[in-house]
A and B are shown apart, each in its own frame.
Chain A
Amino acid sequence: MTNDFDIVLIAKVLPILLQYLPVTFEILVFSILFGMLLGIAIAIPKLLHINVLRQIITVYISFIRGTPILVQLFLVFYGIPALLRIVHIDVTRMDAMYFVIITYTLSNAAAFAEIFRASILTVDRGQIEAGYSVGLNGKQAFVRIIFPQALRVAFPNIANTMISSLKDTSLAFSIGVMDMVGRGETLIASTTRALEIYLALSIVYYVIVLLLEKVLKSNERYLNRYMPKEAVSS
């Protein structure tokens, strides 16, 4: 590698990398959407203290939080085909994209389950009793009184999960997904200029994270609009 640093190359590869931004967003949007649904589903047995199911879910959440996302990617990538082969379904030719979305969904679900559970528990029990006292049934009280308050508490954590999930998508290339980083790797192979390409990738990630943070922050402010001013620091 030569010493001269080619700043023009960064400007040149940025538009190429940006073409692959939709792939990154596809992974992000699907894994967050499915992750939230699965997260809510697995938070319920824990909240309702359903015995065996609750313990299985505790182990699942602990495993996801205790292992690197990279190892989870490999486990899904090699594990799901092995599992499906038992029932004679061959998925070895399946697009790597599916494995990535499955991994990030499983990973996000664990995070969201804990967030939902904790945030619902922060809402005072008196609130649901107040709901009953004005004649709401359990479902109405939850949807109209508990859930909006829980969402307000949960939102900063949901935002953090989204942002770290966005950064985690940078590993999808390791099982062969052609996202921004995957395209970057091919550009490195053809230009032999790794530093410039990684700088360009970092810039893209940095800008998206900053934009996403801004959007999430304004949403947070909206959710907190009925709160006293000092509780909504900045």
Chain B
Amino acid sequence: MTIDFAFIFEAFKEISKVLPLTLFMTATPVLLGILIGVIVAFVRIQQTKFFAPLLNFYVSFFRGTPIIMHIMLVYFGVPIIVDVLAKALKLNIQSSSIPILFFVLLALTLSAGAYASEIIRSGILSVPKGQLEAAYAVGLTFSQAMRRYILPQAFSKSIPNFTNVFIGFLHATSLAFFLSVKELTGVANIVASINLKFLEAFIAVGLIYWGVSAIVEWLAHRLEKRVTFYNKGGI
């Protein structure tokens, strides 16, 4: 057997059609994850009673288990919860009518939330306390100081980490393949099975992931340059 280069190109065209879905499956969990992450980070920094230990467990569990487990646990666990709730509240919802994509998005969002919260927490903690005191000194409230001083600085410091999370979750979407979602890896497998050309199809999908990762890194690098423009130092 030799490698069929023409087929790599064919597969490339076929597989890249579902690139928008993969990007959607990446962006949604990461953006929602950042929202969750901000809330979780604040609760953990403030050490709120009851919630802080609960969220500590959430973060450590999701960071301590493989993402494939999150997808499987949500896929098999959430329908049971939905059915029980629907029965108790007499709602007309059936778990079987929920699309698989929803479970994948939910699992990846919960997972991204745990990773993002650690990044935001370390970002917030990296801003010197003097910045908050400076904000208080000019008469800002805590929430104003957070929004105008601390969070922008924390975010600009977190961009490289968020880039890694984005690329990590771009790669994690490949796990949806196990639930036969037709994203990049899923379609690659279908294209491979129909034509019995597995290596070629996976080379093609590898090139697509690689290309997208490279573009994301380049964009993040430019963004980083922009937001750290004013951080070049005093002199």
Contacts and interface: CB of A to CB of B under 8 A. Distances in A.
Interface stretch (B29-37, B69-77, B152-160, B219-227): B69-77
- Tell me what chain B mostly uses at the interface: helix, strand, loop, or mixed: helix
B45 interface: no
- Tell me what chain A mostly uses at the interface: helix, strand, loop, or mixed: helix
Nearest to A209: B64
Given A66-B214, A71-B174, A198 B64 contact: no
Contacts of A85: 1
Contact of A199 (B1, B73, B171, B185): B73
Size class of the contact patch on chain B: 35 or more
Interface in A42-72: 62-63, 65-72
B99 interface: no
Given A78-B202, A205-B64, A209-B64, A66 B213 contact: yes
A91 interface: no
B83 A3 contact: yes
Interface residues of A, number: 37
Interface stretch (B5-13, B48-56, B143-151, B203-211): B203-211
A167 B66 contact: yes
A72 B174 CA distance: 11
B178 A195 contact: no
Interface string A185-227: 0000000001100110110011001100100000000000000
B61 interface: yes
Contact of A70 (B2, B174, B198, B213): B174
A69 B67 CA distance: 12
A87 B207 CA distance: 26
A191 to B, nearest CB: 13
B64 A69 contact: no
Contacts of A141: none
A82 interface: yes
A171 interface: yes
Contacts of B132: none
B210 A68 contact: no
Given A66-B214, A67-B213, A206-B61, A198 B206 contact: no
Contacts of B170: 68
Contacts of A74: 198, 202
A173 B79 CA distance: 25
Contacts of A5: 80
22 contacts: A1-B76, A5-B80, A68-B174, A70-B171, A70-B185, A71-B205, A71-B209, A74-B202, A75-B203, A82-B199, A170-B69, A171-B68, A174-B178, A195-B76, A195-B77, A195-B80, A198-B69, A201-B69, A206-B61, A209-B65, A210-B64, A213-B64
Interface of B: 1-3, 60-61, 64-69, 72-73, 76-77, 79-80, 83-84, 167, 170-172, 174-175, 177-178, 185, 188, 198-199, 202-203, 205-206, 209-214
